[in-house]
Structure 1
Amino acid sequence: MKVSVITPMYNCEKFISETIESVLNQTYTNWEMIIIDDCSTDKSKQIVKQYIERDKRIRLIALNENSGAAVARNKGIEVSSGRFIAFLDGDDLWEPNKLEKQIQFMTEKNIGFSFTSYEVISETGIDLNKTVRVPNMIDYEGLLGNTIIGCLTVVIDRNIIRDVEMPLIRTRQDFATWLNILKKGYKAYGIDIPLAKYRIVKGSISNNKFKAAMKNWHVYRKIEKLSLSKAIVVFLCYVFNAIKKRRKNVNEVINTSEATNIL
Structure 2
Amino acid sequence: MLGQTHPVTEVHVVLNSETDVDLPSDPRVRLLRYLERRNGNAARMAGVRRCTGDLVAFLDDDDLWHPTKIERQVRDVAEAGLAGSSTWISSTKVVVDFAHGSETWPRAAYDPSRSLENNLLRRHRVQRGQAFLPSSTLLFPRSLPATVPLDEGLSLHQDLSWLLQLSRNVPGLVVRQLDDALTRYDAIGDGVSRSISLARELDWAREYLSSSTPRDRGDYYLGSVMTYARRQGTMSGMLGVFSEGLRVGRPGAAAVGYACGAVAAGVVKAVAAGVRQPRRGRTEPDEGAEVRQWARR
> Between Structure 1 and Structure 2, whose CA radius of gyration is higher?
2
Match of 1:140 in 2: 117
Residues 140-163 of structure 1: CA deviation (Å, up to 9, x unaligned):
222234642121101112467752
Match of 1:129 in 2: 102
1:139 corresponds to which letter in structure 2?
Answer: L
Match of 1:35 in 2: 13
Match of 1:80 in 2: 51
Alpha carbons of structure 1 residues 243 and 120: separation in structure 2 relative to 1, 3 Å = farther
More strand by share: 1
User: 2:97 & 2:2 partners in 1: Cα distance?
Assistant: 20
Residues 80-136 of structure 1: CA deviation (Å, up to 9, x unaligned):
11211111001111001000000111122134111100112358xxx9332113523
User: 2:93 & 2:197 partners in 1: Cα distance?
Assistant: 20
Secondary structure of the corresponding residue to residue 81 of structure 1: coil
For the pair 1:235 / 2:208, whether they are aligned, the reply is: no
Alpha carbons of structure 1 residues 122 and 143: separation in structure 2 relative to 1, 3 Å = closer
Match of 1:226 in 2: 211
Secondary structure of the corresponding residue to residue 150 of structure 2: coil
Match of 2:233 in 1: none
Calculate percent identity across the aligned residue pairs: 21
1:135 corresponds to which letter in structure 2?
Answer: A
1:220 corresponds to which letter in structure 2?
Answer: A
For the pair 1:175 / 2:146, whether they are aligned, the reply is: no
User: 1:203 & 1:77 partners in 2: Cα distance?
Assistant: 26
Matches within 5 A, 1:13-162: 23-40=1-18, 42-44=19-21, 47-48=22-23, 51=24, 54-111=25-82, 112-121=88-97, 128-133=101-106, 135-136=109-110, 137=112, 139-145=116-122, 147-158=131-142
Aligned residues of 1:221 and 1:227 also touching (Cα < 8 A): no
User: 2:203 & 2:156 partners in 1: Cα distance?
Assistant: 10
Match of 1:15 in 2: none
Matches within 5 A, 1:190-229: 190-207=177-194, 211=196, 216-226=201-211
Alpha carbons of structure 1 residues 60 and 164: separation in structure 2 relative to 1, 3 Å = farther
Aligned residues of 1:144 and 1:179 also touching (Cα < 8 A): no
Alpha carbons of structure 1 residues 140 and 157: separation in structure 2 relative to 1, 3 Å = same
Structure 1: runs of 5 or more not aligned: 1-22, 257-263
1:29 corresponds to which letter in structure 2?
Answer: P
